[in-house]
Structure 1
């Protein structure tokens, strides 16, 4: 009987210790992410290409001199805020569920053609910008190394993203007679779910049992292909002309594939179909935050 009682007591003690190691927590952090694994963006359907260039043209449209620069883009760059909750099963292993929002930074480009043909001088300047916002859900596994005041840790998980991409372009044509033409277009693209993965290396500093400060390096590998787009601003020479655009001129469906037939009846009252385009969202960022343990 005494032996059985001793075994029961040991089991209860061990169980209590394991349970005591389990901890709930909530955390909040913010930081900035830089682009990682950027790509060259060029979409012929949407008529954009991200380069910087300047060309000076002479008679017969021959290039006299100029420069050109490729712009590399990842829409994952920008400011991010994260709220997460987690549960430590023991001192070295836990699970984490994070909700974050990306306020993406803009990427700009400009290319201009300047013509000098005889006594006539005119120019064409095109400017592009693209940016993004994204709500992200990030389930992760957490591994800590030791339980001292300063604790290194690592997190590995998946990311699901609900994003929105804003694309803007401006065309300006000028000549010697001030017959200037200026067009500004703003398009928003969304729909669909982005899927990626992330890895985090961090260092936490424990202030007692309740409050923990931490800093971390976060890597995200992800891309996103929106399923629909819409022109939300169309300004021609300072006048709003959006209402003059038909549905097929301002709304778009981005599809992985679709069929085309000579018997198709194209309606201006339906969105225009285009092949989808996958945008890079990979990033590397640094975050600072606070964690409250329960």
Structure 2
């Protein structure tokens, strides 16, 4: 399909150079289509779990396009698009063997992405038209902001969980998807016109790597513990400690080494158990959406 996209791009460029063509600019909003599970949140008392579904393709959009009609009915178009994605809930939790919650992550993520579309256009009549083509992502990221609480064996003594906060930027592999639209255009006289269209984008992005923009891990203050409480030796009171991204590893007397890699790469296959924190199995982020675009067109005069 990538070869087909390149051929379509070459065709549009070659034909646009020799005859009448148009440019357009539009803005709009997209909603998720066939949203998949993005996260599961808990209420404040952690007695109720709620699933959240969505797509990172939801949000405000903007597009710049150039196009050329080969005749009165058929044409082709190239578009450069920007997505300012809406927040998606990515909360999650883990339980121990007894069903008690041992870790809870409260988070949201949104996309900031640039895309390229190449489409063929068919005019049903003077006003209504349809489009079908391919879309790929040129750049951007999915930015996730989260707070994670991890229980420890000291929870039995009333000690707070370990708190991890951060902002993680996810980058994906080059994707290829499908786009289709149906629209209505109206001439304003002269070379100007306006249009409105309904558009579908079907595209998913496979994770490639992620980098932390911010990260901190805070261990709680612990009281003095007698011998036998968590080991053979007594443990003195220990104040809260915080490790920040870029610091040397923090050696905690109870919790051990506190640190995290600044970058994680995602692979399709890893040995198990995976003891390398800088590598993880890849997953797919949904970007499919339904959207409405409204814009203005300028058609250049024939030579």
Q: TM-score, normalised by structure 2?
A: 0.69
Aligned counterpart in structure 1 of residue 148 of structure 2, from 142, 146, 171: 171
Aligned counterpart in structure 2 of residue 251 of structure 1, from 263, 273, 281: 263
Deviates more, 1:196-205 or 1:169-178: 169-178
- Report how far residue 289 of structure 1 moved: 0.1
SS at match of 2:214: strand
Q: Does 1:219 align with 2:200?
A: yes
SS at match of 2:207: coil
Asked whether the equivalents of residues 54 and 111 of structure 1 are also in contact (C-alpha less than 8 Å), the reply is no
**Partner in structure 2 of residue 87 of structure 1:** 68
Asked whether the equivalents of residues 163 and 194 of structure 1 are also in contact (C-alpha less than 8 Å), the reply is no
**Partner in structure 2 of residue 63 of structure 1:** none
Aligned counterpart in structure 2 of residue 53 of structure 1, from 42, 57, 64: 42
**Partner in structure 1 of residue 288 of structure 2:** 282
Asked whether the equivalents of residues 55 and 112 of structure 1 are also in contact (C-alpha less than 8 Å), the reply is no
- Report how far residue 171 of structure 1 moved: 3.0
Q: TM-score, normalised by structure 1?
A: 0.71
For the pair shown, the structure with the greater C-alpha radius of gyration is 1
RMSD: 3.2
Distance 1:128 1:195 in 2: 28
Asked whether the equivalents of residues 204 and 215 of structure 1 are also in contact (C-alpha less than 8 Å), the reply is yes
Distance 1:184 1:71 in 2: 21
**Partner in structure 1 of residue 111 of structure 2:** 132
* Correspondence 1:19-38 to 2 at 5 A: 23-38=20-35
Distance 1:273 1:83, change over 3 A: same
- Count of aligned positions: 239
SS at match of 1:257: coil
**Partner in structure 2 of residue 107 of structure 1:** 88
* Correspondence 1:189-204 to 2 at 5 A: 189-204=170-185
SS at match of 1:75: coil
Unaligned runs of 5+ in 1: 1-21, 42-49, 58-65, 114-122
Asked whether the equivalents of residues 87 and 96 of structure 1 are also in contact (C-alpha less than 8 Å), the reply is yes
Unaligned runs of 5+ in 2: 1-18, 95-101, 219-240, 250-258
* Correspondence 1:230-269 to 2 at 5 A: 230-236=211-217, 241-244=244-247, 249-258=261-270, 260=271
Distance 1:235 1:210, change over 3 A: same
Distance 1:216 1:245 in 2: 54
Relative to its length, the structure with more strand (as a share) is: 1
Aligned counterpart in structure 1 of residue 122 of structure 2, from 143, 168, 176: 143
- Report how far residue 250 of structure 1 moved: 2.2
Asked whether the equivalents of residues 37 and 52 of structure 2 are also in contact (C-alpha less than 8 Å), the reply is yes
Deviations 1:269-290 (A, max 9, x none): xx72211111110000111100
